[in-house]
């Protein structure tokens, strides 16, 4: 396995041959009640605390990429099309999560492949998933060129990604502390950071390893920083909640069978926290004024919202002031001038 990057700015490096990872229960404390994840409603028997805006790695990346995209996804909550690649990623993540429900000795390639069908049976019940597969309406009709020949062929491609995972790690030697684990913390300035970690490993000596599964290709060196943004976010939250800097951030790229590893240090996390604080301040200004500027880039080719984007001749819907206020945002009154 090729490691593209192993050292943080301070030169720290995760030692090889360290003890096998042990089992603990992840408990993350915050100094204020946690908000429900975006789109999740509190249970009927739970006290309904006021919602608070929060920052996640994906939403921070959205705002950095295009402030208007952030608005469309987070405030307007405009619908977006599902893609076969994204759904396949969800399926593979589900299989790898369930793999660690098995006793260590049973975590084999064959067992992982057997988990595909039940995971798919659940996933295909979600709205829009079944519609991704083109179905001939009449004899001789062609399927979409972007669709696989069959669901079976698509599942086979997911199975290959699952199999590739075993070339990167030996799951019989790993006992994760957390999987699909919510981590969150409120910073001293009141900013709530929250996200879900694919896997968290803790060594007997307390060293932390944060692992994320990627079903795409490993990024070129010039884009490593962007790929690590999400992982530094998790490392910051864990440092703030546990007082321990993660020994290793590990991205596993299943398509290529390669890994990107990184060891941050405390000074870097302090700088990264300042970066997130600056992003949040910019988001708050945009929400207060309703002014979210589009940023036209090559990534626009994959955006579902061009019809509403001024950069593409579209007109955004009216700013949803009431929805923003209900979500806990502070907005300025909008004055209409005749």
By the 10 Å C-beta count (0-12 exposed, 13-18 middle, 19+ buried), 9 is classed as exposed
Q: What is the pLDDT of residue 142?
A: 46
Are 228 and 138 in contact by the 8 Å Cβ rule? The answer is: no
Measured distance CA(51)–CA(325) in Å, rounded: 10
pLDDT at position 280? 95
Could you tell me what percent of the chain has a pLDDT over 70? 77
Q: What is the pLDDT of residues 184-211, one digit of tens each?
A: 999 988 999 999 999 999 999 999 999 9
- Show the low-confidence residues of the chain (pLDDT under 50): 1-50, 135-148, 333-338
Q: Report in angstroms the alpha-carbon separations of 278 from 11, 192, 226.
A: 27, 14, 17
Strand, helix or coil for residue 193 = strand
Predicted pLDDT at 9: 35
Q: How far apart are CA 150 and CA 141, in angstroms?
A: 14
Each residue's pLDDT tens digit, 244-262: 999 999 999 999 999 999 9
């Amino acid at each position: 396995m090729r490691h593209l990057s192993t050292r943080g700015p301070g030169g720290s490096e995760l030692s090889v041959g360290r003890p096998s990872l042990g089992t603990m229960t992840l408990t993350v404390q915050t100094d204020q009640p946690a908000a429900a994840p975006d789109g999740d409603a509190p249970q009927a028997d739970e006290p309904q605390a006021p919602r608070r805006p929060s920052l996640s790695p994906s939403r921070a990346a959205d705002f950095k990429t295009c402030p208007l995209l952030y608005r469309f996804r987070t405030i307007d909550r405009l619908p977006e099309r599902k893609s076969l690649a994204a759904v396949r990623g969800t399926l593979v993540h589900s299989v790898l999560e369930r793999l660690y429900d098995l006793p260590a000795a049973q975590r084999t390639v064959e067992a992982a492949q057997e988990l595909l069908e039940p995971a798919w049976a659940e996933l295909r019940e979600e709205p829009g998933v079944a519609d991704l597969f083109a179905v001939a309406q009449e004899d001789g009709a062609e399927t979409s060129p972007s669709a696989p020949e069959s669901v079976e062929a698509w599942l086979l491609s997911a199975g290959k990604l699952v199999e590739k995972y075993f070339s990167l790690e030996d799951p019989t030697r790993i006992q994760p502390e957390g999987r699909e684990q919510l981590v969150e913390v409120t910073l001293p300035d009141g900013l709530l950071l929250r996200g879900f970690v694919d896997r968290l490993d803790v060594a007997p000596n307390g060293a932390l390893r944060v692992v994320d599964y990627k079903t795409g290709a490993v990024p070129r060196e010039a884009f490593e920083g962007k790929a690590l943004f999400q992982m530094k976010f998790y490392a910051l939250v864990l440092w703030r909640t546990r007082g321990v800097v993660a020994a290793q951030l590990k991205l596993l790229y299943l398509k290529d069978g390669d890994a990107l590893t990184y060891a941050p240090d405390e000074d870097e996390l302090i700088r990264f926290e300042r970066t997130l604080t600056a992003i949040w301040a910019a988001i708050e200004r945009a929400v207060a004024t309703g002014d979210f500027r589009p940023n036209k880039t090559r990534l626009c080719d994959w955006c579902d919202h061009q019809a509403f984007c001024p950069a593409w001749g579209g007109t955004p819907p009216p700013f949803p002031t009431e929805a923003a206020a209900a979500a806990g945002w502070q907005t300025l009154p909008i004055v209409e001038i005749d």
